[in-house]
Amino acid sequence: MQLVRSVSQAKKIIASIKKRGMKIGLVPTMGYLHEGHLSLVRIARKKCDFLVVSVFVNPTQFGPEEDFRKYPRDLKRDLRLLKLEGVDLVFYPSVSQMYPDGFRTYVEVVEWSRLLCGASRPIHFRGVTTVVLKFFNIVQPDIAVFGSKDFQQAVIIKKMVKELNLNVRIVTGRIVRESDGLAMSSRNKYLSEKERKNAAVLYQSLKSVKRAYKKGLRKPRPAVEMMAKMIEQKGGGIDYIQTVDKDTLEPVKKLKKGTLIAVAVFFGRTRLIDNILL
């Protein structure tokens, strides 16, 4: 497994891999890997000949008040885990490699980047699409794998790929959960013991709505209210609970197959997201 820090070296290696006709896979990450990331790596490993994982805490997707500086990092551990998964190349650029002085170019999927998480994190998705497009240009993957916990991110990236005619297939992996149902996230580490215990309500509330839907509930509002009540009882501060179409992220008037229930909640200062598909 090679560790590559510079864009020029990564491009050189990729050029030689392309020449050999190998299929390239990419899993972009911000590091501090958990089973959720590793499940994406395993999906990608099966679908390509040369597997690249990027580890980069991307400053442009964090707002000024957000946790860019304190975002957890542990490269040594990440490398150990990625080696065990048979990764070929870890791309670990510095901020100045990705964003040299005077950097001015951003790509944004307009409007969709302001929905759901974008309402409270207005620059987030612009940062994500910009860095992901840069990774695509550097690594030239045939496939790239993203997680479904960040459902909106995956939808936005698919839209960018389609509209900018990029030659990469986007694959999504399932949400990996802890034994009590909490979706795995590098940010779970910020939770106090009590917050961590209470945060399990997120998935419980999503499952309650899905159960109610199966029994005939079709109105979004009672579904949202049911979730809000459960979450607030456990001390969660709701950023949003929304019922949207899984492809367009538009709010739905009626719950149906393909409706995404998406939620963002603060436990203490930690913002967690989760979702379920009906």
* Residue numbers annotated as active site: 37
Write out the binding residues for beta-alanine: 61
Please identify which residue in the block is written with the tokens 């959960």: 177
d(CA 204, CA 23): 40
Distance CA 245, CA 260 (A): 6
In sequence order, what are the beta bridge partners of 27? 53
CA nearest to 144, candidates 52, 81, 58 = 52
Q: DSSP string of 162-179? A: HHTT---EEEEEPPPB-T
Binding residues are 30-37, 61, 147-150, 153, 176, 184-187
Residue 130 Cβ, how far from ligand PAF at the closest point, in Å?
Answer: 9
Indicate the residue among 29 and 243 with the shorter CB distance to ligand PAF.
29
Q: Is 29 in the site for ligand PAF (CB under 6 A)?
A: yes
| 3-state secondary structure labels for all residues of 67-133 | CCCCCCCCHHHHHHHHHHCCCCEEECCCHHHHCCCCCCCCCCCCCHHHCCHHHHCCCHHHHHHHHHH
Reading phi first (left if > 0) and then psi (alpha if -120 to 50, else beta), residue 40 is in alpha
Window 48 to 87, contacts with ligand PAF (CB under 6 A): 58, 61
Residue 58 Cβ vs ligand PAF, minimum distance, rounded to whole Å:
4
Q: Which range in 16-24, 27-35, 110-118, 211-219 contacts ligand PAF by CB under 6 A?
A: 27-35
Q: Which residue lies nearer to ligand PAF by CB, 61 or 188?
A: 61
Residue 173 in contact with ligand PAF, rule: CB under 6 A: no
In this structure, what are the phi and psi dihedrals at residue 219, rounded to the nearest 5 degrees?
Answer: -85, 130
List the binding residues for ATP: 30-37, 147-150, 176, 184-187
CB nearer to ligand PAF: pick between 63 and 251 = 63
Choices 1-9, 11-19, 24-32, 169-177 (CB under 6 A): range interacting with ligand PAF:
24-32
The CB-of-44 to ligand PAF minimum distance in angstroms stands at 13
Size of the site for ligand PAF (CB under 6 A): 10
Nearer to ligand PAF (CB atom), residue 154 or residue 278: 154
Question: How many residues are listed for the chain in this entry?
Answer: 278
Which residue type does 210 have?
K
d(CA 223, CA 199): 19
Give 47 or 197: the residue with its C-beta nearer to ligand PAF. Answer: 47
Q: List the Cα angle 76/87/124 in 5-degree steps.
A: 70
Written as six digits, the tokens of 141 are 């993957």
Least spacing, CB of residue 132 vs ligand PAF, in Å? 6
Contact set for ligand PAF, span 95-154 (CB under 6 A): 128, 131-132, 150, 153
> What is the pattern of x (binds ligand PAF, CB under 6 A) and - over residues 179-218?
----------------------------------------
Contact status: 30 vs ligand PAF (CB under 6 A): yes
Which parts of this chain interact with ligand PAF (CB under 6 A)?
28-30, 58, 61, 128, 131-132, 150, 153
